[in-house]
Amino acid sequence: MDIGAMAGAILACDRRALARGITLIESARPDHREQAVELISALRASGRQALRLGLSGTPGVGKSTFIEAFGMNLAETGKKIAVLAVDPSSARSGGSILGDKTRMEQLSRHPNAYIRPSPSQAHMGGVARRTREAVALCEAAGFDLVLIETVGVGQSETMVAEICDVFLLLMAPAGGDELQGVKRGIMEMADMILVNKADGDLLATATRTVADYAGALRLLRKRAQDPEGFPKAMPVSAYSGAGLDKAWDEMTRLATWRKDQGHWARRRSEQAAHWFGEEVRHGLLSVLEREPAKGILARLGAQVAAGEATPEAAARQMMQALGRPA
């Protein structure tokens, strides 16, 4: 594979090259990994940056419908938008790759949009790396906005929050009891809570839900990287389109403010440092999964289990075997 040519094609926003590039970064083969690292390094020079938008919400809340409507609005105004789904397909109801593709039918056909369904890979470390690298590829291809979609199942939110610039939580209109069920940690990650389905019979409930969330958000400590009024709750309707423009205005207001204040750059460098640490940890773990470390680990583990060595002494021996004094 000619990585230089692939990088050139991605920089020219060649969709097929972008798709091939993402397939390359998803591969676990060591030679592919090497090429993927080379590709990302080659693309880095472009210096292009998109607004990275994280979107989370439980199945059925209307994520696909929202992305379709929101994305179409932006695509129609000339913005280039890439959508990356994070979760393994098994995490979404009936979500095969095909199902993913047809979820945003109009948007997937729009010349300004690119939709990449999630790979059927369950390992969170792998998903995180794949998402981060796919974002980098989309940025290099010149997309203005990269939307990272995740199903609200906990672990993936934290990972997406470590990748994106602005994190959105999509919620359904609900009674007060259900509101209690939102995990505090997830609320704290959200820059904006969008209460979807604010239309028809659900409008009144949605309005009340927005007020409930707004109240809950006010109770959370205000963060230094937030301008006045953030984090905030707003009603939207993916069906009628109501509130979508306003939500976009608020997202860009937040992003611009953070850029002007230096928070954006700081956040990105902190994220880069975080992912460097994760990659190193990931690398060390994979050393333990391969020979000779794997065999030594099994042998020492058996000794500990048999009472022939203490956990401490065995761990020390393991570290020494890896060439590191404990």
Write out the DSSP string of 63-94: HHHHHHHHHHHHHHTT--EEEEE-S-GGGSTT
SS3 55: strand
- Using CB under 6 A as the binding rule, whether residue 40 contacts ligand GDP is answered as no
* Stretch of residues binding ligand GDP (CB under 6 A), selected from 46-54, 61-69, 161-169, 182-190: 61-69
Burial per residue of 120-152, b for 16 or more beta-carbon CB atoms within 10 angstroms, e otherwise: eeeeeeebbbbbbbbbbbbbbbebbbbbbbbbb
Identified binder of ligand GDP from the candidate list 21, 57, 88, 117, rule CB under 6 A: 57
Nearer to ligand GDP, 60 or 78 (CB): 60
- Using CB under 6 A as the binding rule, whether residue 21 contacts ligand GDP is answered as no
Nearer to ligand GDP, 178 or 270 (CB): 178
- Using CB under 6 A as the binding rule, whether residue 156 contacts ligand GDP is answered as no
- Using CB under 6 A as the binding rule, whether residue 243 contacts ligand GDP is answered as no
- Using CB under 6 A as the binding rule, whether residue 241 contacts ligand GDP is answered as no
* Tokens encoding 42: 């080659």
CB of 57 to ligand GDP, least distance (A): 5
Nearer to ligand GDP, 141 or 169 (CB): 169
SS3 43: helix
285 torsion bin: left (phi>0), alpha (psi -120 to 50), beta (else): alpha
Burial degree of 261 (CB within 10 A; 0-12, 13-18, 19+): middle
Identified binder of ligand GDP from the candidate list 74, 128, 238, 247, rule CB under 6 A: 238
Residue nearest to ligand GDP (CB): 62
CB 113 within 8 A of CB 81: yes
- Per the listing, tokens 């205000």 go with 222
Q: Total residues contacting ligand GDP (rule CB under 6 A)?
A: 16
Identified binder of ligand GDP from the candidate list 35, 118, 150, 196, rule CB under 6 A: 196
- Using CB under 6 A as the binding rule, whether residue 71 contacts ligand GDP is answered as no
CB of 39 to ligand GDP, least distance (A): 31
Among candidates 203, 218, 210, which has minimal Cα distance to 176?
210
Identified binder of ligand GDP from the candidate list 60, 78, 94, 283, rule CB under 6 A: 60
Nearer to ligand GDP, 21 or 95 (CB): 95
- Using CB under 6 A as the binding rule, whether residue 199 contacts ligand GDP is answered as yes
Q: What is the identity of the amino acid at 41?
A: S
Identified binder of ligand GDP from the candidate list 52, 63, 80, 116, rule CB under 6 A: 63
CA distance 239 to 226: 30
CB 63 within 8 A of CB 173: no
Adjacent-strand bridge partners of 116: 84
CB of 5 to ligand GDP, least distance (A): 36
* Stretch of residues binding ligand GDP (CB under 6 A), selected from 43-51, 58-66, 222-230, 264-272: 58-66
Chain residues that interact with ligand GDP, rule: CB under 6 A: 57, 59-65, 196-197, 199-200, 202, 237-239
